[in-house]
Structure 1
Amino acid sequence: MPNPIAKMTVSFSLVSIPVTVYAATGRHTVPLHQVHAADGGRIRQKRVCELDGAEVPFEDVARGYESPDGRTVVLTRDDLADLPLATTREIRVLGFLDAARVDPVNYDKAYYLGPSNPAGARPYALLRQAMVEADQVAVARVAIRTRECLAVLRVREDVIVLQTLLWPDEIRSAAGIAPEGIELRPKEVQLARTLMDAITEDFQPEAEHDEYAHALEQVVEARLAGLEPPHAPESRVLPPGGTVMDLMAVLERALADAQEQHPKSSGAVKSTSTATQPGKKAAPAKGGRPRPT
């Protein structure tokens, strides 16, 4: 079980659920340090006061705000822990929404919530079951580590997860990014969907791992052993900018590659590839639309 972060209360209407907050995720990284390239000596960063030049120990470091007129307000840890916010110890539910209503681009950090005492177990289970049966998430307001944010409560593996959200004005506009005026042929869309099915047939997300960390460890181990480290494989050669791509030909080659990489779906790939060859039409299904493969 992960270490607890805080004890809070989930409240909606007159119902209160005492919960303990746990970090739901943890990043794994290869520990790299800043060193002097010439001799490998560690680069140390010191906290130095710019007024008197003295090195400041961590316990004497506070947070500060500089006003437009140049004055500095020093905020202590007690100031930040005792902000005049109801949400500093409360996860206040604002309402419930269908899970699909929350755009994943808003998701930030995840925390597990567990009942902090036996009295909270029953209302915890009640909220969990109600959200599961309604297929809804709770939208809440909470302050995590001195920063207030919106969040959703959702259920994962019988545990209520608090997922913090970015504020709406923290999401940048996507205007002008997507291409416009692109007309796709039905055969292209059909072939792309068949390729998606072929690649997905035996895909298992839980089997994926951090290849970057593994590659970095290989380089470190080779350096420690005094050996030549492994190098990056040859990258795929992309067509130069402005080149008109024969999309159908690319999709056909991709399907052939998928047939080799994902043999479980080879039958579907073969049949679709034949159905989309020039001069041949896919057999229509009911309603006159192409039959999906």
Structure 2
Amino acid sequence: MSFGLVNVPVRLFSATENHDVQFRQVHEKDGGRIKYQRICSIDGEEVPYSDIAKGYEAADGQMVILSDEDLGSLPTRTTKEISIEKFVPSEQIDPLLFDKSYYLEPDKTGLKPYVLLRDALEKADRMALVTVSVRSRMTLAVLRVREGVIVLQTLLWADEVRKPEFESLSEETHATQKELAMASSLVDSLSGDYEPDEFEDDYAEAVAKLVETKIEGGDITETPEAKGEESEVVDLLAALQRSVDKAKAAKAGGASSSGASEAAQAAGGSDSGSDGGSDGGASDESDAGKARKTAARKAPAKKSATKKAATKTAAKTTAKTAAKKSTTKKAATKKAS
């Protein structure tokens, strides 16, 4: 901030924020957000963002397309200096011209000149008219003091303020003395000081309470994941993860089936031996032990604990089945004899 021959380093912070209630346009059926496509009005095709240029519509309706080179030749200001041009009476600045507001925070090295300018503005009851570069464009602004802090407020250009032209007010119509007296009495009865905290945005509060009530009552819409580039990436990763899990499960299942088959073959050989007249009970116990040993020998040494557990479970199950079969055959042999 340039003040005569003094430069005051400052930082800008937005002084206001918008608390207006924001609604989304959604599909009533499923709650999905509504998207708008960039469609060319001539050929009806969707235009990618990379093919979109800036166009200026002339007064006769013709369109002039401006390239990046054209825009680069325009006068711009990239300086960060807030240059004070003059000090003007506060009443000369129409509030209608005020645009965006910023707080100016002084750097520690510029605290003293900052306070000097602040106190001078308050004592003179004037505003400092300045030029400042915002988003590479030079604009007018004023400096004023609010609660001990210098505030920068950008101004609209004079031709950006519309002139009111209402035919109904063009006639020379004025209130009568009696009407004016009654209006003045009403003004006096409603006179008071402005207290910002006295007024609240009851609409925003009502919307917040309404939404909270619906959520507590379970009146919400479970919106499915929207289709799009980001969703496709997420779906692809999820699909890959499912494929990996499925492959691991198939591999583990294959190992378990192989172990079970080998154990079954071993148990089947014992059954044949028992049919030959050997002791069924001893043969069953021996077959179960053989099945477990066979499955253990076939399993690789470096298999995971999960695969080992699956193999042992299959072997035990097969051994029990073999034991049951042997017992049945034993009973049948005794009955035949």
Q: Do the two structures share a fold, i.e. TM-score over 0.5?
A: yes
Alpha-carbon distance, 1:62 to partner = 9.0
Which amino acid in structure 2 is aligned with residue 193 of structure 1? Answer: S
Counterpart of 2:68 in structure 1 is 74
Alignment partners' CA distance in 1, 2:167 and 2:117: 41
Counterpart of 1:34 in structure 2 is 25
Alignment partners' CA distance in 2, 1:54 and 1:175: 41
Alignment partners' CA distance in 2, 1:199 and 1:142: 41
1:152 has 2:146 as partner: no
1:133 has 2:127 as partner: no
Alpha-carbon distance, 1:127 to partner = 0.8
TM-score between the two structures when normalised by the length of structure 2? 0.53
Which amino acid in structure 2 is aligned with residue 24 of structure 1? Answer: A
Alpha-carbon distance, 1:107 to partner = 0.7
- Answer whether contact 1:19 1:113 (CA < 8 A) is retained: yes
Cα distance per residue 1:34-90 (max 9 Å; x no partner): 21123322224567999996865xxx899745697754413799x69x96426x311
Which structure dedicates a bigger proportion of its chain to helix? 2
Larger radius of gyration: 2
- Answer whether contact 1:128 1:155 (CA < 8 A) is retained: yes
Which amino acid in structure 2 is aligned with residue 153 of structure 1? Answer: L
1:104 has 2:100 as partner: no
Alpha-carbon distance, 1:154 to partner = 0.3
Identify the range of structure 1 (164-173 vs 143-152) with the bigger mean alpha-carbon deviation. 143-152
User: In structure 2, do the counterparts of structure 1 residues 161 and 75 end up closer, same or farther at CA, with 3 Å as the change threshold?
Assistant: farther
Counterpart of 1:183 in structure 2 is 174
SS in 2 for 1:200: coil
Aligned counterparts, 1:1-293, within 5 A: 10-45=1-36, 64-65=54-55, 70-74=64-68, 84-85=76-77, 88-115=79-106, 117-176=107-166, 179=169, 180-201=171-192, 204-224=195-215
TM-score between the two structures when normalised by the length of structure 1? 0.60
SS in 2 for 1:188: helix
Q: Percent identity?
A: 38
- Answer whether contact 1:48 1:55 (CA < 8 A) is retained: no
Alpha-carbon distance, 1:213 to partner = 1.2
Which amino acid in structure 2 is aligned with residue 29 of structure 1? Answer: D
Identify the range of structure 1 (158-167 vs 178-187) with the bigger mean alpha-carbon deviation. 178-187
SS in 1 for 2:8: strand
User: In structure 2, do the counterparts of structure 1 residues 213 and 201 end up closer, same or farther at CA, with 3 Å as the change threshold?
Assistant: same
SS in 2 for 1:100: helix
SS in 1 for 2:138: strand
Counterpart of 2:251 in structure 1 is none
List gaps (5 residues or longer) in structure 2.
220-337
Cα distance per residue 1:242-261 (max 9 Å; x no partner): xxxxxxxxxxxxxxxxxxxx
Alignment partners' CA distance in 2, 1:178 and 1:17: 51
List gaps (5 residues or longer) in structure 1.
1-9, 229-293
- Answer whether contact 1:62 1:74 (CA < 8 A) is retained: no
Identify the range of structure 1 (133-142 vs 60-69) with the bigger mean alpha-carbon deviation. 60-69
Which amino acid in structure 2 is aligned with residue 37 of structure 1? Answer: E
User: In structure 2, do the counterparts of structure 1 residues 126 and 196 end up closer, same or farther at CA, with 3 Å as the change threshold?
Assistant: same
Alignment partners' CA distance in 2, 1:157 and 1:219: 36
Across the aligned residues of Structure 1 and Structure 2, the Cα RMSD in angstroms comes to: 3.6
Identify the range of structure 1 (29-38 vs 137-146) with the bigger mean alpha-carbon deviation. 29-38
User: In structure 2, do the counterparts of structure 1 residues 69 and 24 end up closer, same or farther at CA, with 3 Å as the change threshold?
Assistant: closer
Alignment: residue pair count = 212
Alpha-carbon distance, 1:227 to partner = 10
Counterpart of 2:267 in structure 1 is none
Alignment partners' CA distance in 2, 1:201 and 1:123: 37
